[in-house]
Amino acid sequence: MATVKILYFGSIRDITGCSTDTVTDCSTIGEILEQIIKRYPAIEGIRYQISLNRQLLPHPAPQTSNLKPQTPNPKPDTRYPIPADGDEIALLPPFAGG
Amino acid sequence: MQGPIPAAFIAEQIGRHSDKLNIGAHAFFLGQVRSDCVEGKTVTAIEYSAYEEMILPVVKTLKEDLFNRFSDLVCLHIWHSIGVVKAGEASLLVIISTGHRKEAFQALEACVELIKEKLPVWKKELFSDGTARWI
């Protein structure tokens, strides 16, 4: 069971009201997501990708817009790495640089 | 960088290339905040935020990709604003330097597209009536 640091960005930060969080007693990325969504159910309405230690985790399709959700958010995936103590996981809404 | 990219900064960056004598062409992209009208409300500024710790590794990968694709590429530089940038001010500067003009144009377009796709940056439009929306 690991304790991981969670980072929120963009529109997700408006929902959580904070930029960082902690999830404890988790053994998979899926469990971490479940805990986060239980705390902030409105996150389910936002498209996002997940990064682990600043590396994007694979996702079936790129997200292109907050406004027109086209593909579902990542679901627990058995190919995802097992989280370790101190890992940094971020929920990343569609990028909008430039 | 924090806030808008000043015109003097852009000129200074151009000047820094004068000692690289294998460069024959520079291509620039300068993104400027546009005052869109959305449902009757006017955009007065954009507030940018970023996952700053993730930007460096993303840019490193982006540069490796472009240097592999464009053999004539000599150097490339990217600056992106963080924080509030008012309409009419610059928020993204990309400078591509190559031996010849053809690859300068091609690499510039490829670079800007990669920035749009890969850079963990978010923007919020700020309206004249005090409201805002994420885009």
CB contact under 8 A, A14 and B118: no
Burial class (CB in 10 A: 0-12, 13-18, 19+), A29: buried
Cβ atoms of A6 and A23 within 8 Å: the answer is yes
Cβ atoms of A19 and A90 within 8 Å: the answer is no
Return the bridge partners of A2, or none: A26
Q: Distance between CA A74 and CA A93 in Å, rounded? A: 12
Span A20-38, average pLDDT: 92
Find all residues with CB under 8 Å of B73, minimum gap 6, and list them.
B66, B67, B96, B97, B98, B103, B107
Return the bridge partners of A55, or none: A52
Looking at domain A2-92, its CATH architecture is Roll (3.10)
Q: How confident is the model at residue A60 (pLDDT cuts 50, 70, 90)?
A: very low
- DSSP-assigned states of every residue in B90-131: EEEEEEEEESSHHHHHHHHHHHHHHHHHH--EEEEEEETTS-
Span B16-45, average pLDDT: 96
- Report whether pLDDT(B68) > 60: yes
Minimal Cβ distance to B54: which of A54, A66, A98: A54
Q: Is B42 helix (H, G, I), strand (E, B) or coil?
A: strand
Find all residues with CB under 8 Å of B93, minimum gap 6, and list them.
B5, B9, B10, B13, B28, B29, B30, B31, B77, B78, B79, B80
**B1 and chain A: CB distance < 8 Å anywhere?**
no
Cβ atoms of B3 and B85 within 8 Å: the answer is yes
R_g of chain B computed on alpha carbons = 16
Residues of B in contact with A62 (CB under 8 A): 117
Shortest distance, CA A26 to any CA of chain B (angstroms):
24
**A96 and chain B: CB distance < 8 Å anywhere?**
yes
Shortest distance, CA A22 to any CA of chain B (angstroms):
17
Shortest distance, CA A28 to any CA of chain B (angstroms):
22
| Residue A98: per-residue pLDDT | 87
**Tally: H helices and E strands in chain A:** 2, 5
Whole-number mean pLDDT of chain B?
96
> Hey, how many other C-beta atoms are within 10 angstroms of the C-beta on B89?
17
User: What chain B residue is nearest to A68 in terms of C-alpha separation?
Assistant: B135
Select from A12, A54, A56 the residue whose CB has the most chain B CBs within 10 Å, as the one to mutate to test that interface: A54
Which two structure tokens, joined as six digits, stand for A94?
């569609």
Give the pLDDT confidence of A81-98 residue by residue, as tens digits.
889 999 999 999 999 998
User: What chain A residue is nearest to B93 in terms of C-alpha separation?
Assistant: A98
Q: What are chain B's domains?
A: 7-134 (3.90.1170.40)
User: What chain A residue is nearest to B123 in terms of C-alpha separation?
Assistant: A96
Cβ atoms of B127 and B42 within 8 Å: the answer is yes
ipTM confidence: 0.88
- Report whether pLDDT(B41) > 90: yes
| Residue A75: per-residue pLDDT | 66
| Residue A72: per-residue pLDDT | 61
Give the pLDDT confidence of B70-105 residue by residue, as tens digits.
999 999 999 999 999 999 999 999 999 999 999 999
Question: Which single residue is written with the structure tokens 């540069």?
Answer: B63
